[in-house]
Chain A
Amino acid sequence: MIKQFLMNLLLSFIWVALTGSMYYTNFVFGFMLGFGILWIMNRNEGDRSYFYKVPRIISLVFYFIWQMIKANLQVAYDVITPRYFMRPGIVKFPLNARTETEINLLSMMISLTPGTLILDISEDRKTMYIHVMYLDNPEKFVREMKTGLERRLLEALR
């Protein structure tokens, strides 16, 4: 996994050195080219995970940006119109993420989406308490979070 990533980085640097323009679009193109080369050259069955993970990480990033824009529009609409549409509440969220890195990344992503704010994580790291702005139904919110953000994040990391 980490070996392939370093190899890919090296290939993109070689591409940048050969073409001679140190601009980020060129670097990204070199990275994609290196990814393709590594994919074709890959013979070992054991190192497959890298080729699944990179597309998943990219799709996670885009999904997160989309969620963030959607929530921002909702909050902005509520701020500029005179009536309040929100139904805030504190929800208990059972965690599937186990290791420190997973919990850290998940809580960072939840906190960065407008309208949700992490208040605390229990001592045994199994539950998380989230303050939510638009809460119609606590079970529905937890289910959506589990099948959306958490599942995608864990797929990208594991």
Chain B
Amino acid sequence: MIDILIAILSTIGAFAIFFASLGILRMPDFYLRLSVTVKAATMGVGLLLLCAAIIFPDISVSTKALAITFFLIITSPIAAHMIGRAAYFTGTPLWKNTIIDELAGMYDKENHRLRNSDEMPEPQGEEDQIADTEEETK
């Protein structure tokens, strides 16, 4: 019973990591790559560690595995958030099929302050961060 459970969980975990690594190659722009990689990898590593926690009868292994999973879940969203924010600041283009960008013009370029929602966004001309061609985000 427990063997089957572990087999299922570890297979799902391995597949999650596989899809994450495939996603890096397949996704069309930076934000989508980040979005796919961070989450799927967290879930995959979390599931594999959970399997390790179940399979070893030693309590010290279980506590370590659970602690690692816990800190992984806490820290990886923050890393994704910081990388994504930095990418937006440096003007990394969004994919050409992006349908809406409500963040456009809300940043103060001088001091990196984000405007509040009731303030007007900075008027901007034709240029936005959404790429025009597929090549720009390769």
Contacts and interface: CB of A to CB of B under 8 A. Distances in A.
Nearest to B89: A120
B101 interface: yes
A87 B100 CA distance: 9
B80 A111 contact: yes
A38 to B, nearest CB: 25
Interface in B51-92: 59, 62, 73-74, 76-77, 80-81, 84-85, 88
Given A90-B101, A114-B36, A131-B31, A123 B114 contact: yes
Given A121-B114, A124-B116, A131 B99 contact: no
A123 B80 CA distance: 20
A122 B116 contact: yes
**What does DSSP make chain B's interface, helix, strand, loop or mixed?**
helix
B100 A120 contact: no
Contacts of A4: none
Interface size class of B (residues with CB under 8 A): 35 or more
A2 to B, nearest CB: 20
B8 interface: no
Interface size class of A (residues with CB under 8 A): 35 or more
Contact of B99 (A71, A87, A129): A87
B46 to A, nearest CB: 10
B39 A113 contact: yes
Given A114-B35, A127-B117, A108 B26 contact: no
B17 to A, nearest CB: 11
Contacts of A121: 114
17 contacts: A68-B39, A72-B40, A75-B36, A79-B22, A79-B23, A87-B97, A88-B95, A88-B99, A90-B100, A92-B102, A92-B103, A107-B81, A112-B39, A117-B31, A120-B88, A121-B114, A129-B103
